[in-house]
Structure 1
Amino acid sequence: MRRISQGKHQALRRTGMQTLRAAVALPFLIAGAVKLVGLSGMVSLFHEIGLGQWFRYMTGGLEVVGGVLVFTRRWVLGALILCCVAAGAIVTHVTKIGGSPVPATILLAMSVALAAIGIRRYVREAEGHC
């Protein structure tokens, strides 16, 4: 078995992280934009949820802000925001609107993985500076 050089290993890790960030952020950015634009399907969905249209704007805003943050230096904060949004979507599917919570569950798992990677990095850095 051939060993990967240190430089190639770092390049693969960097590419993997960029891919995970994009895979987490893009669905939320699209969903957030759809909510903020106010497509009729979203308006009626949030009417069915029963919390008012302000909740649609808040949810869409959180999705967009979290999705954008995932591409910045504050990517861990973005991932944590998206974890909360995905968890809320799962609860809403199960308790209010029906439908499959599987897509939201997959997004939650990916968001948790991204946040965990970031938190682990912060902990390692903090331990190294003590």
Structure 2
Amino acid sequence: MTTTRPTTSPVRNIALWVLQIAVAGYFLMSAMAKFTNVEPAASTFEAIGFGDWFRHLTGVLEVAGAVALVVPPLAGLAGLALAVLMVFATLTEAFVSKGGVVTPLVLLVLCALIAWSRRSATARLRPRISAGR
């Protein structure tokens, strides 16, 4: 059985890479704020009752996601993981800290777009993972 890879126009591919790099940059900056105790990151995590450990864990997840966004085989999976993270960020902002939900919602949409656009690369990871490579 032969499978064909979906073709992507060069312009669309470049635009997607620009988006991935921009989103990765945002998540790196966001993570640095969590590691350096910059406001409002510190007070937000304190207000939701999780404190420093969860703030640092979130920062680590953001760094891992940002790095994976610029690794071609991992970009789709990173987009999916960061989209899930943004679902929880949106819910936390809306119901716990009563903050603005616009930023996490925009990031959720952008990460979901990356995950969808890079789904073929993500699908190619499955046989490699199940084979133990």
Q: TM-score if structure 1 supplies the norm length?
A: 0.80
Any unmatched runs of 5+ in structure 1? Answer: 1-8
Larger radius of gyration: 1
- 1:64 is matched with 63
2:54 aligns with: 55
Q: Counterpart of 1:26 in structure 2: which amino acid?
A: G
Deviations 1:15-44 (A, max 9, x none): 112112123222111101110122243222
Amino acid at match of 2:110: M
Q: Is the 8 A contact 2:76 2:122 kept in 1?
A: no
Aligned to 2:118: 118
Taking a change above 3 Å as real, the CA distance of residues 19 and 56 of structure 1, as seen in their structure-2 partners, is same
**Comparing 21-30 with 109-118, which one deviates more in the overlay?**
21-30
Q: Which runs of 5+ in 2 are unaligned?
A: 1-7, 127-133
After the TM superposition, which residues 1-130 of structure 1 pair with which residues of structure 2 at under 5 Å, given as runs? 10-73=9-72, 74-120=74-120
Does the residue aligned with 1:80 lie in a helix, a strand or coil?
helix
Supply the RMSD in Å over aligned alpha carbons: 2.1
Give the 3-state SS of the residue equivalent to 2:40 in structure 1: helix
What is the one-letter code of the residue matched to 1:11?
P
Structure 1 pair 72/41, CA: closer, same or farther in 2 (3 Å)? same
Regions of 4+ moved over 4 Å: 120-124
Q: Contact conserved, 2:86 with 2:104, CA < 8 A, in 1?
A: yes
Residues 31, 60 of structure 2: 8 Å contact kept: yes
> Closer, same or farther in 2 for the Cα pair 1:121/1:75, shift >3 Å?
closer
1: CA distance, partners of 2:39 / 2:113: 33
- Greater share of residues in helix: 1
TM-score, normalised by the number of residues in structure 2: 0.78
Query: More relative contact order in 1 or in 2 (CA 8 Å, sep 6+)?
Result: 2
Q: Which amino acid aligns with 1:53?
A: D
Q: Distance in 2 between matches of 1:20 and 1:12?
A: 12
**Number of aligned pairs?**
117
